[in-house]
A and B are shown apart, each in its own frame.
Chain A
Amino acid sequence: MINVEMFYGRQTTAISCREDEEELNELPSLEKRPAVKIDKKFLFCQRCGKKTPLKEVLLPNGDFYCPHCIMLGRMSTSTILYSIKEPNAFQKYGSDVLSWHGKLSNQQKTASDSLLKAASLPGDHLLWAVTGAGKTEMTFATLQDALIKGKRICFAAPRIDVINELFPRLKAAFATIDIICLHSRSNAKYRYTQFVLCTTHQLMRFYRAFDLMIIDEVDSFPFLGNESLEYAAKNALKAGGTRLFLTATPDEKLQRRIKKKEIDVIYLPIRFHQNPLPVPKVVCCFRLREKLFSERIPGAFKKSLTEFENEGYPFLVFVPTIDLLEKVHEILHEILSESCSGTTVHAGDPERIEKVQAMRDGKYRYLVTTTILERGVTFPKLNVLVLCADASEFNLPALVQIAGRAGRSSERPDGHVRFFCDNYTKRIKGSIEQIKRMNRKAGRYCK
């Protein structure tokens, strides 16, 4: 017996749902669409929206296939996408669905109310709130309202780390709701739920499913500037649905849309604990990179580290490239005492998730990381140090985000942020200016 629910708002192939094609065809109200379309000399993929020149993707059996979304199963000219129109067949909930009873600050409450209002209007809306403003908590009222109204909801973010951090928080806030958490490294099998938490990549598997989509960290890799993810984020939304974007550092494209008034903005320049953002301190070191490699450790760097160690708080050390990771880890190991241990993390690290969890549990005092931990992760009472902050890998939003890792808890609302660099670049200057500007705005906002 085929489980019809598996097709509600999804787009799947016969192979991936392991059903017999003939049996599938007998299902009532089943929509069938070809997975790819041929448009002159190009192949257009209906799942990821990418165009590929036909001659690059011709198979010997005469089919054409899309190489861009192949990680989710190959779409070719002989594949059909099956879906059933989203019926919103959910259980009814009352207002007790929200089991979170924390309090929002006045500023958060205002933003939360405007978000709730925005969610009832179709189209795109943006919440621009500083790092550590408590964006997730501000969406709870909106989510609660949508759940009561029987809307299908998706909470999406581009990175797995962010999803993994959101999952327990959302589960705690909506204890009675069955939330499914989908990403390429989770072993959760898809099932039909009202509330979906997933990476933006997983959106490719949905077709006109959601009434409300909240996309966190819209300005981050890999979502930023990725056509197929943008296509998927549109395709997964029902006609007349609402999308809420959350970010602390909108990219230029979004800022342009704001200026043109194509998207309404809800603005929140202050953190929930009402303290200003920690302003980075720049430390210039001549030929820093070479020095790190030749193990001539700059005195200022040594001094900062011992200071961090004596303070007793956890800290992150950001480096621009993977080849620096081990080197810096060795240096730290040498300088710091035994009790102050740590490890390295990068995007391709298979134990990434475990290591971040161990850091959260207090097993490590520090992590040496690439930009992968620049956003979406919260460690309380953190200090932050950036090496080679002038490297091109750290763009302006990234630096703002990194600085925003510090001072996120009310127990320690400030923290040290240090940028070590050769050259005081425009990006570094710009990021510090942006942080200061927000602090000024926050001062006005409070009055």
Chain B
Amino acid sequence: MNECLLCGRRLKQNMTFDFLFSFRPLEQSVVCKACRQKFEKIDFKTSCPGCGRQMSEKTICEDCKRWEKAGYELLFNQALYKYDENMKAYVTRYKFMGDYRYRLIFANEFQEKVAEFQKQGYAIVPIPVDRETFEKTRGFNQVLGWLGKIDCENYLVMRQNKGRLKQSHKDRAMRMKTKQPFEYVGPNNLSDKKILLVDDIYTTGRTLYHAKTLLEDAGAKFVTSVTLAR
């Protein structure tokens, strides 16, 4: 691939003598610098510790306070990027149009983040997609696309539920009313394991909190999450 996946311009690789004699392998990037800079990173120093949203200072946001009030222990989600117009366009192309090549744009970064948790002994649990989506319409799980070769535990599956409305087609109020969409299919006792949930976007947190509840019921000691965008 010689062209930027996002703008289609040719990628220029600056070859320096330093690089030549460093004998490092050539890292092929898939997007140009200008395109990458369009995505806005979230600064962890000033993000909401509950959901990972970019704030002006490190305080718990209103939405997370509501979760606390409802009796949930916070998820301590970490998100890499803001869910702005550019990220929306990216997600549309990758997830909804199904351009699987787009996984490569964030794969490295995402894997680095997840690997940090893996080193600390977390089991990685990606949020699943339902079978129909995997086999017929999309053909891939968007989260697994980013994770690449990282070892994952498939503790969760989507419940068979025909005619269910997709999360992306609902508004906030409807999303919050969503019933438990997952089924636990892991080992009988998670025996005090630490678990990292991985999803694409944290919107209301409903999906991730459902997954967290299910895993805690199965015996997990601590459940947290990482998403690409918030």
Q: Please give the residue numbers on chain A whose beta carbons come within 8 Å of chain B beta carbons, in ascending order.
A: 15, 56-61, 63, 65, 67, 70-71, 73-74, 76, 78
Report B93 CB to chain A, min CB distance, Å: 7
- A65, B100: Cβ atoms closer than 8 Å: yes
Contact partners of A60 in chain B: CB under 8 A = 134, 139-141, 144-145
Report B145 CB to chain A, min CB distance, Å: 8
Contact partners of B98 in chain A: CB under 8 A = 59, 65, 70, 74
Report A229 CB to chain B, min CB distance, Å: 14
Partner of A59, one of B1, B97, B140: B140
Contact partners of A59 in chain B: CB under 8 A = 98, 100, 139-140
Partner of A65, one of B134, B139, B144, B145: B139
Contact partners of A78 in chain B: CB under 8 A = 136
Tell me the complex Cα distance, A192–B135, Å.
33
Given A56-B1, A61-B134, check contact A70 B139 (CB 8 Å). Answer: no
Partner of A61, one of B93, B99, B139: B139
Given A56-B1, A61-B134, A61-B135, check contact A74 B97 (CB 8 Å). Answer: yes
Contact partners of B1 in chain A: CB under 8 A = 56
Residue of B with least CB distance to A60: B140
Type the 1/0 row for B99-135, where 1 means its CB is closer than 8 Å to any CB of A: 1110000000000000000000000000000000011
The 10 closest A-B pairs by CB, nearest first: A59-B139, A61-B139, A60-B140, A74-B98, A70-B99, A70-B97, A63-B139, A59-B140, A59-B100, A67-B99
How many chain B residues touch A (Cβ–Cβ < 8 Å)? 16
Residue of A with least CB distance to B141: A60
28 A-B contacts (beta carbon < 8 Å): A15-B137, A56-B1, A56-B101, A57-B100, A57-B101, A58-B100, A59-B98, A59-B100, A59-B139, A59-B140, A60-B134, A60-B141, A60-B144, A61-B134, A61-B140, A63-B139, A65-B98, A65-B100, A67-B99, A67-B101, A70-B97, A70-B98, A70-B99, A73-B97, A74-B97, A74-B99, A76-B139, A78-B136
Q: For A56, A60, A73, A78, which residue has the most chain B Cβ atoms within 10 angstroms? A: A60
Tell me the complex Cα distance, A67–B100, Å.
8
Tell me the complex Cα distance, A74–B95, Å.
12
Tell me the complex Cα distance, A78–B136, Å.
8
Q: Please give the residue numbers on chain B whose beta carbons come within 8 Å of chain A beta carbons, in ascending order.
A: 1, 93, 97-101, 134-137, 139-141, 144-145
Tell me the complex Cα distance, A56–B28, Å.
14
Tell me the complex Cα distance, A65–B138, Å.
11
Tell me the complex Cα distance, A59–B100, Å.
7
Contact partners of A67 in chain B: CB under 8 A = 99, 101
Contact partners of B100 in chain A: CB under 8 A = 57-59, 65
Residue of B with least CB distance to A348: B7
Report A35 CB to chain B, min CB distance, Å: 13
Report A68 CB to chain B, min CB distance, Å: 10
Tell me the complex Cα distance, A76–B139, Å.
10
Contact partners of B101 in chain A: CB under 8 A = 56-57, 67
Contact partners of B135 in chain A: CB under 8 A = 61
Tell me the complex Cα distance, A70–B98, Å.
8
Tell me the complex Cα distance, A78–B98, Å.
14
Contact partners of A15 in chain B: CB under 8 A = 137
Tell me the complex Cα distance, A78–B135, Å.
10
Report B158 CB to chain A, min CB distance, Å: 15
Contact partners of A74 in chain B: CB under 8 A = 97-99
Residue of B with least CB distance to A66: B99
- B97, A71: Cβ atoms closer than 8 Å: yes
Known: A15-B137, A57-B100, A57-B101. 14 other contacts (CB 8 A): A56-B1, A58-B100, A59-B98, A60-B139, A60-B140, A61-B134, A61-B140, A65-B98, A65-B100, A70-B93, A71-B97, A74-B97, A74-B99, A78-B136
Tell me the complex Cα distance, A58–B101, Å.
9
